[in-house]
Structure 1
Amino acid sequence: MTLVKAGVVVLDCAEPEKLAVFYKEFLEGEQTDASANLVEVRGADGIRLAFRRDVNAVSPSWPRPENSLQSHLVFLVEDLDAAERRLVGLGGRPIETRDPAGPYEERGYTDPAGHSFTLRLVPITAPKQG
């Protein structure tokens, strides 16, 4: 029997209601819980994120080396360009425009509150046909 049934990533921010709307729309999900200081959303694929009010929140400054990353989300997508258009339309900002080293095609962004995240192209795993 599994003891832990689910986890939630919680991001601190000054305006949790606004940040929840950004992620709810991007993840095509729904708001599942809200209080005066915490808003939770669940994406269409089941991912759970929450946003906690911190009136003194300071946005992470990655990729500057003198500051820590704090946290970093990675979202797997099937179409990088379509996902980028969607999140920029919702208020996200690109932060990494060069091709990364490594086996994955990915791009870096920040949400409207400054938290960094990556869109990573889902690798094709099906065998080649024909």
Structure 2
Amino acid sequence: MALVKAGVVVLDCAEPEKLAEFYKELLDAEEIVASANLVEIRGADGTRLAFRRDVNATPPSWPRPENSFQAHLDFLVEDLDAVERKVVGLGGRPLETKGAPGPHEERGYSDPSGHSFTIRLEPSRAPKQG
């Protein structure tokens, strides 16, 4: 039996209730823990995220170098345009990036509290043709 199990990604923010609501809607998630200073959600696929109150939280400034990349989330999607509309409709905003690296098309955003995240096309699982 493993001594340590994978836990949950926790984002610090000034208003955990509002940020949890953003991600609940984005991930079709459910709230599983809530207290005065922490809200935890679980997505339909089992992904767990938590949001912890920190009144002094400073959002990352990525892609600018000052206070840049603290951490970010990657979400796999089937339709970049549809997910972008959902992100923006929920209060997220696109981040300007110049030619995202990597083998898959991806787009960067920040959530309403300024944490960066990426949506990228889920790799095809279809068998190769030919």
Query: Structure 2 length normalisation: TM-score?
Result: 0.93
The equivalent of 1:35 in structure 2 is 35
TM-score by length of 1: 0.93
Q: Distance in 1 between matches of 2:90 and 2:107?
A: 17
Q: Deviations over 1:66-95 (max 9, x none)?
A: 323111100011111111111110001000
Indicate whether 1:77 and 2:58 are aligned: no
Give percent identity, aligned residues only: 77
In the alignment, the residues of structure 2 paired with residue 69 and residue 120 of structure 1 have an alpha-carbon distance, to the nearest angstrom, of: 18
Amino acid at match of 1:95: L
RMSD: 1.5
Which stretch of the first structure deviates more once superposed, 88-97 or 71-80? 88-97
Instruction: Tell me by how many angstroms 1:127 deviates.
Output: 1.3
**Which runs of no fewer than 5 residues in structure 1 stay unpaired?**
none
Alpha-carbon spacing, 1:27–1:62, altered in 2? closer, same or farther (3 Å): same
In structure 2, the gaps of 5 or more residues are none
Deviation (angstroms), 1:96: 3.0
Count residues in correspondence.
Answer: 130
Q: Is the 8 A contact 1:38 1:52 kept in 2?
A: yes
Q: Which residue of 2 aligns with 1:20?
A: 20
Q: Conserved in 1, the CA contact under 8 Å of 2:14 and 2:56?
A: yes
| 2:104 paired residue number | 104
Q: Does 2:123 align with 1:118?
A: no
Q: Which moved more, 1:82-91 or 1:1-10?
A: 1-10
Partner in structure 1 of residue 68 of structure 2: 68
Distance 1:89 1:111 in 2: 11
